[in-house]
Amino acid sequence: MYRRSLIPAATDMANAATKREAICAESGISLEAKRAKNDHEKGPEDGKESPSEKILDGFKTSSVLSDSAREKIMFIHGKIADQDAVVILEKTPFREETLTELLSDSTLKLEMKNDIYNSYRLQAPPHLNEIKTTVVYPATEKHIKRHQRQESFLVEETGEDYRSITLPYIEKQSFSLQWVYNILEKKAEAQRIIFEDPDTETGFVLLPDLKWDQKQVDDLYLIAISLQRGIKSLRDLSSEHLPLLQNILQKGQDAIKQRFDLPASKLRVYLHYQPSYYHLHVHFTKLGYEAPGCGVERAHLLSDVIQNLKSDPQFYQTRTLHFPLRADDGLLAKFREAERL
């Protein structure tokens, strides 16, 4: 079966900001890369942006943090103008609507022939051979570490462990939420929003995840970000949040059905524990796509979360939760210090 392409939807785009994004997507450069140096406050839609094609010109590679031949992805640490940067290069899936062009307009170089078996190197036209590129710049030590291949350990966290070990740690150490606030305040990615419910209590914004290039639904990945601030993670949820969670599930599914023609039965809707960013958000990925972090040790289905809160309003304050931590994670060191590992 061919992949369903999303390109026609993209051609509906009308205004200038959206066109800018399309150019970005075309060039394979994530909008994140277009942020002006040290400009954490504004997204590229607002300010004068540095030219997208220049950001990697002076990039100096320090090391390959990790890579996967199977997933065709590489995480690279390097410097841009003496500041740390992380570059993620990822080959993207084939698209049905470019197949004819790909097969007819490419050059074939013979590798070997044997009976009915023929092996070639196909040299595709550049626009059919793009690489999704994400640039995190300036990157913190934590951004660099998280992409390094590392052994991980499963941690068992009681409600008390959360309050005495995890909470004090995440209050000091977690990633900046500036990108989340930029989205909520329409300072960044405003043109990418797929659905928005403006209710201050139960509202949320649904948009493509940074990891998704939106070219085909096979690897669909959206995130719903709660408008309410201050809900850090699963641990903060109680029955008072049921209307918010049910709203995200229902309206998120409806919006995806309408926009991408994918029914709820084709979606995996979940929260991470631990998340990387401590502002309530829900992941929507296509069932069958092995999205990073969708394993049982980290993903909690939103429908299960809702049921758990219905049967016990304090479920997530009292239950023991398990999650993996990388060997170099400071939180793991805290669990070790407390002799909980």
Site for ligand M7G, rule CB under 6 A: 32, 179, 189, 207, 209-211, 223, 272, 275-277, 293
With respect to ligand M7G, which residue has the nearer C-beta, 251 or 272?
272
The least CB distance from residue 292 to ligand M7G, in Å, is: 7
Nearer to ligand M7G, 323 or 335 (CB): 323
To the nearest 10°, report the CA torsion of 72, 289, 203, 250: 170
Query: Sign of the CA dihedral 273, 85, 186, 130?
Result: negative
189 is in an annotated binding site: yes
Least separation in angstroms between residue 137's CB and ligand M7G is 12
Sheet of 281-286, strand order:
195-197, 204-208, 221-226, 281-286, 267-272, 299-301
The reply, when asked if residue 151 is annotated as ligand binding, is no
277 is in an annotated binding site: yes
For residue 94, give the nearest of 49, 58, 57, 124 by alpha carbon. 124
Rounded least distance, CB 128 to ligand M7G, Å: 25
Q: Is the Cβ of residue 272 or residue 334 nearer to ligand M7G in the bound state?
A: 272
Closer to ligand M7G by Cβ: residue 127 or 322: 322
Say if residue 280 carries a ligand binding annotation: yes
Please check if 212 is assigned to a binding site: no
Catalytic residue positions, numbered: 281
Closest distance to ligand M7G from the beta carbon of 118 (Å) = 40
What one-letter code names the amino acid at 250?
Answer: Q
User: DSSP letter string over 115-179?
Assistant: TTEEEEEEE--GGGS-EEEEEE-SPPHHHHHHTS---EEEEEE-HHHIIIIIHHHHHHHPPP-HH
Q: 329, exposed or middle or buried, with CB in 10 Å at 0-12, 13-18, 19+?
A: buried
Closest C-alpha to 175, from 136, 143, 131, 209: 143
52 is in an annotated binding site: no
Q: Are residues 287 and 266 in contact, defined by beta-carbon separation less than 8 angstroms?
A: yes
Which CB sits closer to ligand M7G, 47 or 293?
A: 293
Which residue ranges make up the annotated binding site? 179, 189, 209, 211, 272-283
Which residue ranges make up the annotated binding site for substrate? 179, 189, 209, 211, 272-283
